[in-house]
Amino acid sequence: MAGPARGVAACGTRRNGKLAMNVVLPIVAAAVAAAVVTIVVTTRPGVPEPRTPASAAQAEPAGAVRVRAIDGVIRRPLAASARVDGASLRQRVERLLAQGTPRDRYQAFVVLARCASAIDFDRHLKSLPASTDTTRLHQRYGDGSQRIATACGDLSARQIEQRIELAASAADDGIAGAASAWVEEGPYGDKTALTQRPDDPLVVEWVRQAIALVNAATKRSDTEAIGQFGMLCLNWELDDVARVRLLVDSAAQRRHEDQIRSVLN
């Protein structure tokens, strides 16, 4: 079976390195400019100024998990409590899905993604080789059961798996951040598939869909998608599977780094 096609589906056709970069850089600059214009236009008098990183850190609930774009600025806050307004996480997800709006469905994804992220971090932490730093980290983290219980509550495995479909649906409905969230989950929720099965037709098709979603969201001035679009373009010399794998791996690495800082601080 032939390997994944090399190319820059999101950034034009690559004829030679110099020509490609001449095409890529203006596109990336235009995308960033579009994001800035969107932020400026949507800022209205009387709206409170955005919180500084320091004040945001104080105001955010302890244990909140954040996902950043490649520039380290854009973040998606996730719920930090296993119970909201007296409702369990399962009840909250069911209520959001019953309300049925695209935004409510995306909020249900956010709750489920926080649980999946906590489980993923627990596995990551326990796979780290022993060292002075990891020993201290393990001591602060504990066995992880309480942290996972807080993030997952009474959610079922089936509900957690449903997050992939919810993210895809929200992306199709144009919810900001949903396309990037879906891409970061990896092929059908399996990030390892990009490394272990890069030639699998299902993986190749998922990559095609991922690039298409990023492109579509970028045209809507979705700032998180613009960050992903920039990374795709800057790595134009790689094949599509490798470029998307960079998006997924870098997002997972940043998430783990944020979670480690949360444990140690």
pLDDT at 2 over 90: no
Q: What average pLDDT does the structure give for the chain?
A: 77
Distance in angstroms (rounded) separating the CA atoms of residues 246 and 10: 15
**In this predicted model, what pLDDT tens digit does every residue of 153-205 receive, in sequence order?**
999 999 999 999 999 999 999 999 999 999 999 999 999 999 999 999 999 99
What's the CA dihedral at 153, 265, 56, 146 to 10 degrees?
10
Please tell me the least confidently modeled range out of 13-27, 48-62, 200-214, 244-258.
48-62
Handedness of CA 193, 199, 204, 205 (dihedral sign): negative
User: DSSP assignment of 135-171, as one string?
Assistant: HHHHHHHTTSHHHHHHHHTT--HHHHHTHHHHHHHHH
Q: E strands of the chain, at which residues?
A: 66-68, 75-77, 83-84, 87-88
Instruction: Enumerate the domain spans of the chain.
Output: 64-264
Cα first-last separation, the chain: 49
Contact 82, 111 (CB under 8 A): no
* Percentage of the chain modeled with pLDDT above 90: 63
Greatest mean pLDDT range, 67-71, 84-88, 130-134, 214-218? 214-218
**In this predicted model, what pLDDT tens digit does every residue of 34-86 receive, in sequence order?**
444 443 333 333 333 333 333 333 333 333 333 333 333 333 444 444 555 67
